[in-house]
Amino acid sequence: MGWLKYFQSFFCDADQRKKIISDLQKQVTALRTELESKIEDNDVLSEKIEDKERDVDNLENLLKGANEGVSEEARLSGKRSISHSWKDPKGKSVQLDVQDFVQSSVVLHELAKKKRLYLNDKTDYDKQVAKAYRAVIGLLDYRFDHSLFSQNERWITVTEAISLGSSDCEEKSMTIVSLLEHIGVPRDSVFVCIGQSFNGIGHATVKVKDSTGVFRHLNSSNLFENFTDLKEYPEFHKKDTSFRTNGFNLEIMDYEFNSIVAETKFENLDNYLIRISSVKPDSTQLNEKTEMRNRVVYVNGGVELPVRNCNVIIETDHDQLFFNASAGGVVQVNIPPRLVGVSTKVTFEKTGFKPRTFDVTFEDSKTTSFKVRLYRGQDGS
């Protein structure tokens, strides 16, 4: 309303003034609605831009490493692979490789978007990781397995734990690592760690490398340390009583893992079982073997999803072997002795995706583990 109409309102009767005021209030409401809509549009646009920036980073990394064989995430495990029992929805107990318990999820993706946790060139790595840790630590209430399942020890996946809303230190550790992997922390820099804590009990917790290359301890079971910079957290595997979480830091390391690789730090499983509990937990299996382990994924809406049942071809100059990934995108192949120490090409292919080939040399009694990300399209497109 212009100034003329504003002054005219003083010379109107009461009904006319009420109408003018009502019209003004409607205009203000409409303007506020329009402003809020634009703010929401800007937030959506910012999220879309962040998604596109991550896609560009992924493509740049793909082009950079396309001819360099196995990516920087490839890593040889120790001489043993580790699996743990898990109960499927029908209650049947099966053995899963511990890497399979670490999972991305829609809930973690939404948390990362809402809190703007994704790493990029514009973010401070140490502050962003600390922010992500503080955001995810309260996602699950701490409850002992006995109160949840009437069992002394039971592992469930990250997806199951988030659905349940409660878990103990193992699943809380896996959830922290899942989120940190999801926002872009390199997989050689973040691990679920299992062992004996400085207070003398078995514990699962998290170690993550800061920007200076030092592994820091992010305790899984509580937020006694609530720092805003990763470098302020205690050094992993180091006794320091100035920190409230010192008793939860690991004095003895037994094994560590993330979604890609698991490494053992001990040879005698019996000693480990006796040390952590007077009651033997569900079986943790150790098996010496030469194998290849992969997780085959693609990105949809910022979330990594499995490429189901893709074909895997292992080739040498004189040999060609064919395998299939599982419906969960997991490849686990026992490597025959004739392929040990031999230069091989490993190809992952699936209709609707561009195939990817890696140069790999398998080592005896070791697990070669790396993640494979496929992109939509056809060969040569």
Q: What is the 3-state secondary structure (H, E, C) of 297-364?
A: EEEECCEEEECCCCEEEEECCCCEEEEECCCCCEEEEECCHHHECCEEEEEEECCCEECEEEEEEECC
Listed residues 288, 314, 346: the one ending a domain: 288
96/174 same-domain check: yes
Q: Is residue 59 part of a domain?
A: no
59 — pLDDT class (breaks 50, 70, 90) = very low
Residue percentage of the chain with pLDDT more than 90: 32
Does 106 share its domain with 226?
yes
> Looking at the domain assignment, is residue 63 inside a domain?
no
Mean pLDDT, rounded, for 225-230:
94
Q: Considering only residues 119 and 67, tell me which one the structure prediction assigns the higher pLDDT.
A: 119
Q: Determine the average pLDDT of the residues in 39-64.
A: 50
pLDDT at 243: 94
- Cβ atoms of 217 and 245 within 8 Å: the answer is yes
C-alpha to C-alpha distance for 54 and 112, rounded to whole angstroms: 13
Q: Are strands 367-373 and 353-354 parallel, antiparallel or unpaired?
A: unpaired
pLDDT of residue 6: 46
73 domain residue, yes or no = no
Residues 152, 34 within the same domain: no
Among 254, 288, 322, residue at a domain's last position: 288
Q: What is the mean pLDDT of residues 274-281?
A: 40
Closest CA to 82 of 363, 274, 284: 284
Clarify whether residues 129 and 175 are in a common domain. yes
Q: Do 111 and 182 reside in the same domain of the chain?
A: yes
Residue 282 and residue 297 in one domain: no
Predicted pLDDT of residue 173: 95
Q: How far apart are CA 66 and CA 211, in angstroms?
A: 26
Residue 110 belongs to domain spanning: 78-288
- pLDDT band at residue 148 using 50, 70 and 90 as cut-offs: confident
pLDDT of residue 133: 95
My answer on whether 308 and 280 are in the same domain is: no
State mean pLDDT over 68-95. Answer: 63
- Asked whether residue 58 is assigned to any structural domain, the reply reads no
- pLDDT per position as a tens digit, 174-224: 999 999 999 999 888 999 999 889 998 889 999 999 999 999 999 998 888
Six-digit token string for 316:
């040498």
**DSSP conformational letter for 122:** T
Specify if 61 maps to a domain.
no
Q: Which two tokens stand for residue 36?
A: 């809020």
Q: Are residues 162 and 216 in the same domain?
A: yes
174 and 229 assigned to the same domain: yes
Q: What does the pLDDT read at residue 74?
A: 42
Average pLDDT, stretch 241-268?
Answer: 83
What per-residue confidence (pLDDT) applies to 241?
94
Residue 44 lies in a domain: yes
Number of domains in the chain: 3
Higher pLDDT, 172 or 267: 172
pLDDT at 233: 97
What is the pLDDT averaged over residues 136-151?
82
Which residues are CB-contacts of 22 (< 8 A; sequence separation ≥ 6)?
none
Residues 306 and 274 in one domain: no
pLDDT of residue 269: 46
Higher pLDDT, 278 or 353: 353
Q: What is the CATH number of the domain that holds 206?
A: 3.10.620
Cα–Cα dist 327/339, whole Å: 26
Res. 140: pLDDT tops 90: no
Q: For residue 80, what is the enclosing H or E element?
A: strand 80-87
Whether 205 and 308 map to the same domain: the answer is no
Q: What is the pLDDT of residue 19?
A: 73
**Is the whole-model pTM more than 0.75?**
no
Check residues 225 and 19 and name the one with the higher pLDDT.
225
Domain boundary among 288, 310, 344: 288
Measured between alpha carbons, how far is 244 from 234 in angstroms, rounded to an integer?
10
CB atoms within 10 A of CB 212: 9
Residue 71 within a domain: no
The pLDDT score that the predictor gives to residue 183 is 92
Q: Domain of 344: which CATH number?
A: 2.60.40.10
pLDDT at 142: 84
361 falls within a domain: yes
- Mean pLDDT, the chain, integer: 78
Report residue 289: phi and psi, to 5°: -165, 160
Output phi, psi for 379, to 5 deg.
-55, 125
Residue-level pLDDT at 82: 77
Same domain (yes/no): 106, 154: yes
Decide if 62 contacts 376 (C-beta within 8 A): no
The string of pLDDT tens digits covering residues 22-51 is 777 777 677 666 666 655 555 555 555 555
Least confidently predicted of 57-66, 253-262, 361-370: 57-66
Quick check: helix, strand or coil at residue 181? helix
